[in-house]
Chains A and B, each alone.
Chain A
Amino acid sequence: MNLVALIFIGVAVLFIIGIKFLSSPKTARYGNLIAAAGMIIAFFALHKGTGESVWTQGWSFNYTLIVIAIVLGLIAGAVGAYMVKMTAMPQMVALFNGLGGGAAALVASLEFNRGAGGLEPVAASITVPMLFATVIGSLSFAGSIIAYLKLEGKFEKPHTFPGQNFLNGLILLVILGLCGWLTINAVGGNALRGFIVLFVLALFFGVAMVMPIGGADMPVVISLLNSFTGLAVAADGFAINNLAMIVAGTLVGSSGTLLTLLMCRAMNRPVTNVLFGAFGSAGGSKAASGGVAGTVKPIQADEAALLLAYAQRVVVVPGYGMAVAQAQHQVRELSDELGKRGVEVQFAIHPVAGRMPGHMNVLLAEANVPYDQLIEMEQINPSMDRVDVCLVIGANDVVNPAAREEKTSPIYGMPIIEADRCKCTIVMKRSMAAGFAGIENLLFYKDNTRMLFGDAKASLNALIAAVKAN
């Protein structure tokens, strides 16, 4: 047993502890730092497949390139990580994941290119992981870029056409067939040409896979692509004989797969439904099937402020609209104002509110909302009928009673925050437009619901002023 092997056992342990710590709120931040420490150690202990250290062989032009590339990546990563607004975090994760996938595909391509240029036939135990890393890596790259663009709002609606799943299946078959052929014929010019076709097809498949998926399901897709990239990295580890990459990639691949399933469970949707269902376009009736009963009743800020100021218990349900309007600080201010008047204020957090699980927690924490005021959906639902005023800020699908009442609704069965059971519900919204799932919200038509139209930030400022004046 040599020193390098010992170091890499240590690194693997650091990664495992890191992921473990990341799954508990108290230790999460240390978990991230521990994993980062593991990465730094692995960097200095980096060795080639043949066993010699990368850092002790002579310096060459290639090393200058390595340093320049690392610095460029560091700058890009740091700018991305620190400049991005809190609301755009999910996109950033998607983008970084895509880059990782792209890197995995490129590493495998280089290795394949080298093998194809040689005279010796390459062993299948090397070629298969290389092809796997190429296909999954470029799929993850293209898919993540599309996910990024979707979350940036570049494609508003899911793109679907008849026979889409059939076409995707056909492409997948061609990819598999090509992989089989390349495994047997991995040397020579034809192999290289076939490989380029494979690369392009995998990129196209990544686009075709994510394009039809609606925005509400994007977190699940990013999580899935994240675990894909992990597997591609592990396959690269097999191809270039690097144990650290195998272990780290596999850990991410399997924990990412489980995380994807957990996310689907939080939305009460099977993962196949997410991937092939095209949420929000093909998902059954858009409006409630029997027509919507009731009328929309608008309310002005002054009246809403009165309701809030003289309530005993207020529950705020934040959603993506709050994130878009960057209104979390105003929400905190309003909550403080009400608190001063003796109103009990709580925040009801739906697990998938916003564009990512935990999105609301992060935003409200940024605005210094005390942790104990954030109540998870399961805890708050039983006491919802004792709430005087429920203030829904930019949330839509996560409070839609159709999930309970409308069997034909695409979101039927999804757990929701039961805002409709409160004595009075005020919904702050820009317009009557449907939510991300593209379906009508029955809550807006209930008798005890009032709509406060306008930009969330502006409306909240008006509410704060009016509460202060009372």
Chain B
Amino acid sequence: MDPNILFIFILAIFVGFEVISKVPSMLHTPLMSGTNAIHGIILFGGILVLADAGTRLEEALGFVAVIFGSANVFGGFMVTDRMLQMFKKKK
């Protein structure tokens, strides 16, 4: 394994901890929902494996993975935006 990747991995752990250290409780739900959308990047993993799928089984599993990932990423960002829209209106 490339040691650089491990290095980036460790740094990302600390960044993730630091970046939300002070968050008011009313934003807990939108924050959870927003990070939920970000892990929708698994969609790309699905695309990559489906692009190279050779057998029917691989195609079927990859197809489902892309649907799941796509729903995760689009639905995640949309539902977060819908929540946060509510916060903005009241100014």
Q: Name A's B-contacting residues (CB within 8 A).
A: 12, 15-16, 18-20, 22-25, 28-29, 31-33, 35-36, 39, 42-43, 46, 48-49, 54, 57, 62-63, 65-66, 68-74, 76-78, 80-82, 84, 86, 89-90, 92-93, 96-97, 99-100, 102-104, 106-107, 109-111, 113-114, 125, 219, 222-223, 226-227, 229-230, 232-234, 236-238, 240, 242-259, 262-263, 266, 349, 351-352, 356-359, 361-362, 365-366, 368-371, 376
Q: A102-B68, A358-B26 are in contact. Are A23 and B31 (CB under 8 A)?
A: yes
A71 to B32, CA, bound (A): 25
Measured between C-beta atoms, what is the minimum distance from A298 to chain B in Å?
33
Q: A100-B42, A102-B68, A107-B46 are in contact. Are A74 and B51 (CB under 8 A)?
A: no
Q: A62-B59, A66-B66 are in contact. Are A263 and B28 (CB under 8 A)?
A: yes
Within 8 Å CB of B76, what residues of A? Answer: 77, 93, 96, 100
A236 close to B45 (CB less than 8 A) = yes
Interface digits, B62-85 against A, CB 8 Å rule (1 contact, 0 not)? 111111111111111111111111
B29 close to A104 (CB less than 8 A) = no
A234 close to B9 (CB less than 8 A) = yes
Within 8 Å CB of A219, what residues of B? Answer: 28-29, 32
Q: A28-B30, A29-B88 are in contact. Are A251 and B15 (CB under 8 A)?
A: yes
Q: A54-B48, A77-B71, A80-B71 are in contact. Are A22 and B25 (CB under 8 A)?
A: no
A418 to B85, CA, bound (A): 31
Within 8 Å CB of B52, what residues of A? Answer: 48, 62
Within 8 Å CB of B62, what residues of A? Answer: 62, 65, 106-107, 110
Within 8 Å CB of A370, what residues of B? Answer: 90
Within 8 Å CB of A92, what residues of B? Answer: 75, 79
A89 to B17, CA, bound (A): 25
Q: A19-B20, A25-B24 are in contact. Are A110 and B49 (CB under 8 A)?
A: yes
Q: Which of B57, B58, B86 contacts A365 (CB 8 A)?
A: B86
Within 8 Å CB of A63, what residues of B? Answer: 51
Within 8 Å CB of A248, what residues of B? Answer: 38-39, 41
Q: Which of B49, B53, B75, B86 contacts A362 (CB 8 A)?
A: B86
Extra inter-chain contacts (18) besides given A102-B64, A376-B25, CB under 8 Å: A28-B27, A32-B34, A39-B77, A57-B51, A69-B66, A103-B43, A103-B66, A111-B49, A223-B32, A233-B39, A238-B5, A253-B16, A254-B15, A351-B25, A357-B29, A358-B26, A358-B30, A376-B24
A84 to B82, CA, bound (A): 10
Counting chain B CB atoms within 10 Å of each CB, the highest count among A29, A69, A256, A351 belongs to A69
Q: Which of A35, A82, A93, A245 contacts B32 (CB 8 A)?
A: A93
Counting chain A CB atoms within 10 Å of each CB, the highest count among B38, B61, B67 belongs to B38
B80 close to A32 (CB less than 8 A) = yes
Within 8 Å CB of A245, what residues of B? Answer: 41-42, 44-45
A125 to B1, CA, bound (A): 6
B81 close to A369 (CB less than 8 A) = no
A15 close to B9 (CB less than 8 A) = no
Within 8 Å CB of B88, what residues of A? Answer: 29
A412 to B20, CA, bound (A): 28
B17 close to A65 (CB less than 8 A) = no
Q: Which of B19, B29, B58 contacts A16 (CB 8 A)?
A: B19
B71 close to A65 (CB less than 8 A) = no
A23 close to B74 (CB less than 8 A) = no
Measured between C-beta atoms, what is the minimum distance from B86 to chain A in Å?
4
A77 close to B27 (CB less than 8 A) = no
